[in-house]
Amino acid sequence: MGGHNPGIKLLDKDGKRIDGRGLYDLRPIKMEIGVLKKADGSAYLEWGGNKVMAAVYGPKPVMPRHLANPYKAVLMYRYNMAPFSVDDRKRPGPDRRSIEISKISRDALERIVMTEYFPNTMIEIFVEILQADAGTRCAALTAASLALADAGIPMRDLVAACAAGKIDGKVALDLKKEEDNYGESDMPLAISPRTGDILLFQMDGLLTKEEYLESLHLALEGAKKVSEMQKKALKDKYKIETLGGEDDKV
Amino acid sequence: MREIVIPGEPLGEANQDRLPYGVFREGDKLYSALYGLVEPDKGIRITPLNGRYLPRVGDVVIGIVIMARHSGYVVDINSPYVGHLSIPRHSNLKFPRLNPGDVVTVKIASKNEVGDVALESPRRLVKGKLIEILPTKIPRVFGKSGSMLDLIKNTTGVQMIVGRNGRIWLRGEPDAIIKAERAIRFIEENAHKYGVTDAVKKMLEGDI
């Protein structure tokens, strides 16, 4: 998509991709929870070449006051790309694209965050893209949901996200930058893994009906794998052990 | 045995009407809404690992006066909601005269569903040191029927007031305060583990 393909082969004759992955492989993912001291909850995520930092503040009093909702908490989501996150310097500040991503990501999270627990408050989520390599909205949402869990905010589920797309005529999982730029289609998807509900779904480029269904199922499977990694990261953060002596109970 | 639960994790069948904080029902199954600890053999209750303080009637908290109004004071109680401490119009009790920045212990008198919190029985705290920890770790600072708190108080000789909102006020000798604070930070960091009381005991007695 995006532009015209200057003769880059995205698949070699063995069907391997430019970074050596198969069509249905995810890039390596690393998750860290509770990395920022001053935030109520935070997470750092590395997803292939993407590096994403998420911070959650709140629930806290609503600013500006007129936005307060007496029935539920107000959710705020800021997706922001650092100027140095892409090859050509990005002009700092929100633009058309990041405002859109912030909006759809907030809508996705509003489905799972139990905002009714905290009327007249606001929960702020900041996601900073430090390095971008395609699939940042998925990486951002995945990190944001870990940060929300770390902040102790009640949620119906975690959010896991993953993209699929089409490169050189084949449907593939988790596109990287070159594949996104010179491939034929990209389809980011976020789900609630417990129920299988789709929380975010977009598509760019052209797909036939069969390709569309294959891509959708591939992205769903990818998101489920991401969800397993999220669960493991959360479970491994705290180690329940006995300090020296006998057990004592709370 | 303690286990870590994450949001959306199944907790079993629903056979109760009132659900504790952080547990929700979908169909006939219960799920956790929080990242926290459960002890399955002790029933369904989640101890969150993190989270802001939510006011509960009857709690004693430590507040910081934000401003004075004609009828009372606005008090920060380390919560998403601010507290309102009004001066009773007829009272035999002496009501302290407060200024912004003053530290007070107050009791939550009432709260409603939109987050208006009324406070009562203020007592001004003078001298000493105020520290803040995660409100979710406060039960561990108290220990079983106050055993941990007694341990710290008795071994260090520090006067302590523990607010449910995560603020702890310490008063005593500077060295003793440092020691008590170190013990509290240790409890906060290791609250999810077993054997904290013994470790704290060792830590406090070792330094004497």
- Does the pLDDT value for residue B123 go beyond 70? yes
Burial of A98 (0-12, 13-18, 19+ CB in 10 A): buried
Contacts of B82 in chain A (CB under 8 A): 61
Distances from the Cα of A27 to the Cαs of A47, A50, A139, A209, B153, in angstroms? 6, 10, 11, 26, 53
CA proximity to B180, closest of B168, B189, B164: B168
Is residue B53 a part of any domain in this protein?
Answer: no
Is residue B55 a part of any domain in this protein?
Answer: no
CA proximity to A172, closest of A156, A161, A183, A157: A183
Is residue B54 a part of any domain in this protein?
Answer: no
Domain identity same for B154 and B185: yes
Contacts of B3 in chain A (CB under 8 A): 240
Contacts of A245 in chain B (CB under 8 A): 195, 198-199
**Candidate from A59, A234, A240 with C-beta closest to B52:** A59
The backbone torsions φ and ψ at residue B197, rounded to the nearest 5 degrees and listed phi first, read: -60, -45
Contacts of A156 in chain B (CB under 8 A): 7-8, 24, 31, 33
Verify whether the Cβ–Cβ distance A245 to B198 is below 8 Å. Answer: yes
pLDDT at residue B207, rounded to an integer: 57
Q: Is A234 on the interface with B (CB under 8 A)?
A: yes
The backbone torsions φ and ψ at residue A7, rounded to the nearest 5 degrees and listed phi first, read: 80, 20
Give me the tens of pLDDT residue by residue for chain A, a chain 250 residues long: 555 666 778 888 888 999 999 999 999 999 999 999 999 999 999 999 999 999 999 899 999 999 999 999 999 999 999 999 999 999 999 999 999 999 999 999 999 999 999 999 999 999 999 999 999 999 999 999 999 999 999 999 999 999 999 999 999 999 999 999 999 999 999 999 999 999 999 999 999 999 999 999 999 999 999 999 999 999 999 988 888 755 444 4
What is the C-alpha to C-alpha distance for residues A19 and B170, in angstroms, rounded to an integer?
Answer: 58
Out of B8-22, B118-132, B149-163, least confident range: B8-22
Is residue B98 a part of any domain in this protein?
Answer: yes
Last residue of a domain, one of B85, B101, B125: B125
Phi-psi region of A8 (alpha: psi -120 to 50; beta: other; left: phi over 0): beta
Is residue B191 a part of any domain in this protein?
Answer: yes
Out of B15-19, B24-28, B84-88, B136-140, least confident range: B15-19
Q: Is B194 on the interface with A (CB under 8 A)?
A: yes
CATH code of the domain containing B40: 2.40.50
Chosen from A109, A236, A248 to mutate, greatest number of chain B CBs within 10 A = A248
Contacts of B145 in chain A (CB under 8 A): none
Element (H, E) at A77: strand A74-81
User: Are residues A234 and B192 in contact, defined by beta-carbon separation less than 8 angstroms?
Assistant: no
R_g over Cα of chain A: 19
DSSP state of B49: S
Is residue B186 a part of any domain in this protein?
Answer: yes
Verify whether the Cβ–Cβ distance B50 to A152 is below 8 Å. Answer: yes
pLDDT at residue A6, rounded to an integer: 67
Q: How many domains does chain B have?
A: 3
**Candidate from B33, B47, B190 with C-beta closest to A156:** B33
Question: Closest Cα of chain A to B62: distance in Å?
Answer: 18
| Residue carrying the six token digits 């002790």 | B42
Chosen from B1, B3, B4, B6 to mutate, greatest number of chain A CBs within 10 A = B6
Question: Closest Cα of chain A to B125: distance in Å?
Answer: 26
Domain identity same for B89 and B143: no
Domain identity same for B151 and B134: yes
- Does the pLDDT value for residue B208 go beyond 60? no
Print the domain residue range for B148.
Answer: 129-206
Last residue of a domain, one of B125, B154, B181: B125
Is residue B139 a part of any domain in this protein?
Answer: yes
- List, for residues B3-19, the tens digit of each pLDDT value: 999 999 999 887 777 88
Is residue B101 a part of any domain in this protein?
Answer: yes
Q: Is B8 on the interface with A (CB under 8 A)?
A: yes
Domain identity same for B139 and B186: yes
CATH code of the domain containing B93: 2.40.50.140
- Does the pLDDT value for residue B171 go beyond 50? yes
Q: Is A240 on the interface with B (CB under 8 A)?
A: yes
Chosen from A238, A239, A241, A247 to mutate, greatest number of chain B CBs within 10 A = A238
Domain identity same for B108 and B134: no
When the pLDDT of each residue in chain B is averaged and rounded to a whole number, the result is 91
User: Are residues B48 and B35 in contact, defined by beta-carbon separation less than 8 angstroms?
Assistant: yes
Question: A29-234, what's its fold?
Answer: Ribosomal Protein S5; domain 2 (3.30.230)
- List, for residues B24-82, the tens digit of each pLDDT value: 999 889 999 999 999 888 888 899 999 999 999 999 999 999 999 988 999 999 999 99
> What residue of A is the nearest CA neighbor of B197?
A248
pLDDT at residue B17, rounded to an integer: 78
Q: Is B192 on the interface with A (CB under 8 A)?
A: yes
Q: Is B33 on the interface with A (CB under 8 A)?
A: yes
Verify whether the Cβ–Cβ distance A61 to B82 is below 8 Å. Answer: yes
DSSP-assigned states of every residue in B21-46: TTEEEETTEEEE-SSEEE-GGG-S--
Question: Closest Cα of chain A to B114: distance in Å?
Answer: 6
CA proximity to B102, closest of B57, B62, B134: B62
Question: Closest Cα of chain B to A224: distance in Å?
Answer: 14
